[in-house]
Amino acid sequence: MISTSIFPGRYVQGDQALNILADEVLRQGNSALVIADKFVFEQSKDAIEQALGQQLDFKLEPFSGECCDEEIARLGKVFAEHSATVIIGIGGGKTLDTAKAVSNKQNCPIIVVPTIASTDAPCSALAVIYNTDGSFKRYEVLPHNPNVVLVDTNIITHAPVRFLVAGMGDAFATWFEAEDCRLKQGANMTGRVGCMSAYALARLCHETLLEYGLLAKQACENNIVTPALEHIVEANTLLSGLGFESGGLAAAHAIHNGLTAIPSTHKYYHGEKVAIGLQAMMFLTDRPSATIDLVFDFCQSIGLPICLADIGMQEPTDEELMQVATRACATGETIHNEPYEVTPRRVMHCLKAADAEGRRRKSMLC
């Protein structure tokens, strides 16, 4: 058996790390296209220009908001017109995925600068491509991971806390999914099984979240950088990224992809829907009641969704849930990495079971 794990070229994290962005860019080239989401473009244009300084020729270009084939093609034209040699993506997960996909098309180095810790997208050689309406289209596996991932934790603490919490929802699925892949010897994102370091990093991600999650949320609420905040940003970004990509994905992310078929879920973040997928996964995979309690307790403690109403599905019908389940079980989906029987009917029932548990817990708070 051949195992394979993949990692970003460099990972840089710390308070005010943006100050050394130019140093990292110059290791890759001297002319850059900077793709920034609209909020970053409007609020941080001066800071970006100051960070890049006078040493670089660069063009700032706003991201449209959706990681879709149309936007990737548009930005490719901008790259060619500017004669750039490096792409820098600054923003959230969709901005970074788009920048990675553009760099692949243009065959150039990619530097990603996440401004939120809401997903594990930054470190991966994976771009999640959506349709223009926000529904899931495909995973695009890129030939290499980002050349540089630079995370300024001061920037992270000034983003809405909901982003950090959503990132913990995404990261919390990492070990559970990697463990099921390990048991089944299911494929990671390279198409092969992971090595033992990948599964160990996924486990470290899990332990870090349980230990520091609430403390990091409190730090972010107060716009301060603390060791707990640093640990959780690393867990959300690096450990979860390495854990999912080299350990593998399973039911939680497949159910997330199914949930994107329901328009009312589109305004909720990736990690919030992954948390719902993880809760359903607990029932699908027949986890012990103590593990189910652990998952719901953690999600509830930091403010993640714990029932379908929390992600916009107020009164879901069986038809809607079967639509989610059918998409989650599509050929090639990661749910087939589960070492258990998987059918749309079972997934639908487990979504209902998890929803019932979440509603029960909410009723106890009244």
Res 136: pLDDT: 85
137 and 21 housed in the same domain: yes
23 labelled binding-site residue: no
Over residues 259-287, the mean pLDDT reads 96
Beta bridge partners of 32: 58, 86
Cα 206 to Cα 171, 203, 307, distances in angstroms: 8, 5, 22
Question: Residue 352: which residues within 8 A CB-CB, separation 6 or more?
Answer: 321
The CB-side HSE value for 361 (13 A sphere, CA atoms) comes to 20
The domain boundary, picked from 122, 157, 192, lies at: 157
The answer, yes or no, to whether residue 300 has pLDDT greater than 80, is: yes
Over residues 110-114, the mean pLDDT reads 97
> In this structure, what token pair is assigned to residue 113?
């600068």
217 and 101 housed in the same domain: no
The answer, yes or no, to whether residue 258 has pLDDT greater than 90, is: yes
Q: Please say whether the beta carbons of 61 and 33 come within 8 A.
A: yes
State pLDDT tens for residues 38-82.
Answer: 888 888 888 898 899 877 899 999 999 999 999 999 999 999 999
148 and 8 housed in the same domain: yes
**Residue percentage of the chain with pLDDT more than 70:** 100
Res 310: pLDDT: 98
241 and 107 housed in the same domain: no
Q: What is the C-alpha to C-alpha distance for residues 192 and 2, in angstroms, rounded to an integer?
A: 7
Q: Please say whether the beta carbons of 183 and 202 come within 8 A.
A: no
56 and 179 housed in the same domain: no
341 and 211 housed in the same domain: yes
191 and 327 housed in the same domain: yes
Burial pattern 328-357, b for ≥16 Cβ within 10 A else e, equals bbeeebbbbbbeeebebeebbbbbbbbbeb
Helices and strands (DSSP H and E) totals, the chain: 14, 8
Q: How confident is the model at residue 325 (pLDDT cuts 50, 70, 90)?
A: very high
The domain boundary, picked from 118, 137, 157, lies at: 157
> In which element (H, E) is residue 309 found?
none
State pLDDT tens for residues 7-17.
Answer: 999 999 999 99
Q: Which of 53-57, 265-269, 273-277, 346-350 has the lowest mean pLDDT?
A: 53-57
The answer, yes or no, to whether residue 349 has pLDDT greater than 80, is: yes
Catalytic positions, written as ranges: 170, 253, 256, 270
Q: What DSSP letter does each residue of 316-341 carry, written as one string?
A: --HHHHHHHHHHHTSTT-GGGGSSS-
Q: What is the CATH number of the domain that holds 131?
A: 3.40.50.1970
Res 1: pLDDT: 82
Q: Please say whether the beta carbons of 156 and 95 come within 8 A.
A: no
Domain that holds residue 300: 161-365
Q: In angstroms, how far is CA 258 from the centroid of its own chain?
A: 16
116 labelled binding-site residue: yes
Q: For the chain, what is the domain count? A: 2
283 and 360 housed in the same domain: yes
133 and 265 housed in the same domain: no
130 labelled binding-site residue: yes
Q: What is the CATH number of the domain that holds 352?
A: 1.20.1090.10
Q: What is the C-alpha to C-alpha distance for residues 85 and 79, in angstroms, rounded to an integer?
A: 8
291 and 353 housed in the same domain: yes
Q: Which of 127-141, 183-197, 225-239, 267-281 has the lowest mean pLDDT?
A: 127-141
N- to C-terminal Cα separation, the chain:
53
State pLDDT tens for residues 127-163.
Answer: 999 999 988 899 899 999 999 999 999 999 999 999 9
95 and 50 housed in the same domain: yes
The domain boundary, picked from 108, 138, 157, lies at: 157
Three-state DSSP class for residue 86: strand
126 labelled binding-site residue: yes
Three-state DSSP class for residue 35: strand
User: Where is pLDDT greater, at 222 or 93?
Assistant: 222
Res 121: pLDDT: 86
* pTM for the predicted model, two decimal places: 0.93
270 labelled binding-site residue: yes
- The pLDDT mean for the chain works out to 95
Beta bridge partners of 114: 91
Which one, of 249, 264, 248, lies nearest residue 323 by Cα?
Answer: 264
127 and 172 housed in the same domain: no
